[in-house]
Amino acid sequence: MSDQQTNGQALIHARGLVKHYEDGRVVALDGLDLDIAAGEFVAICGPSGCGKSTLLHMISGIDRPDRGQLMVAGRDLATMSGGETDHYRATVIGLVFQLHNLLVNLTALENVQVPMLTTGIRPRERVERARDLLDRVGLLHRENALPPTLSGGERQRVAIARALANDPRILLADEPTGALDSKNGERLFELLVELQRNADMTLVIVTHDQHLADQAQRVVHMLDGRAIPEPDATTR
């Protein structure tokens, strides 16, 4: 698989992405070019501050570029209205954070249902889908547990189930194993890979763990807000 898919094939197509913070004093993205094909599993690697999380925020619609083009699933993210962006996030994107961001007063089952609340799915169907997703991540037996009673790995699995609630085309994961020990991190990573293959989703994961990154179909290295070539990269 080549490092750059053509625009016609790319599910995610970025050209010249620029993003500054703090009135331009902090350059997060500096002319980034990147294509990611539908169904591809890509790991984004690079030192802290190179723009990895900012890139995920751009793709997810949480933030917008200052300049450049970002097309995702045929949508121009720079020109979408607030309502269009909300619909895009609810129907196209699933997002898993390093810290699970679960609502501590809701059970695991209730947390997984949260993304479905704005989609018009009937309550009974929401519960059935949430239970099915918890079963897929091996946590149906903990459906009534509150997040503070779950282990770190269990909380992240609930977060993954929540990210899958609306059957997204693209699953974005920002350092999802960063707060876990190596054993639980490896198990969580294996779960993400299994879910991606079974659902034929596009998976984009930011990680500092080179061992985990090497299991991806393609590794994109970032430095100073740009994707940089990897001379010895090989097709896996």
Strand, coil or helix: 181: coil
Q: Give me the pLDDT at residue 232, please.
A: 55
Q: Which amino acid is at 164?
A: L
Start-end of H helices in the chain:
52-60, 82-91, 108-113, 123-136, 152-163, 182-199, 210-213
Please state, as a whole number, how many other Cβ atoms lie within 10 Å of the Cβ of residue 26. 12
| 182 or 61, higher pLDDT | 61
Phi, psi (degrees; rounded to nearest 5) at 148? -65, -20
- What pLDDT is attached to residue 28? 92
Mean of the per-residue pLDDT values for the chain?
Answer: 88
Segment 46-52 mean pLDDT: 90
pLDDT of residue 200: 82
**Would you tell me how many other CB atoms lie within 10 Å of the CB of residue 123?**
10
Indicate the length of the chain as a whole number: 236
Lowest-confidence pick of 28-32, 170-174, 176-180 = 176-180
pLDDT tens for 120-151 read 889 999 999 999 999 989 999 999 999 999 99
Distance between CA atoms of residues 20 and 26, nearest Å: 6
The pLDDT assigned to 100 comes to 75
pLDDT number for residue 78: 87
Task: Note the CATH number of domain 38-64+82-228.
Answer: 3.40.50.300
- pLDDT at residue number 9: 66
CB 236 within 8 A of CB 42: no
Q: What's the pLDDT band for 24 if we cut at 50, 70, 90? A: confident
Looking at residue 178, its pLDDT comes to 79
Asked if residue 228 has pLDDT above 70, the reply is: yes
For the four alpha carbons of 66, 68, 70 and 75, in that order, the dihedral sign comes to: positive
Among candidates 12, 32, 16, which has minimal Cα distance to 67? 16
**Which pLDDT value is given to residue 119?**
83
Q: What are the backbone dihedrals phi and psi of residue 126, each rounded to the nearest 5 degrees, phi first?
A: -60, -45
Q: Which of 210, 212, 202 is nearest to 34 (CA)?
A: 202
> Residue 192 above 90 pLDDT?
no
Q: Dihedrals φ, ψ of 66, to 5°?
A: -75, -35
> Taking residues 182-199, what's their average pLDDT?
83
Higher-confidence position of 193 and 104: 104
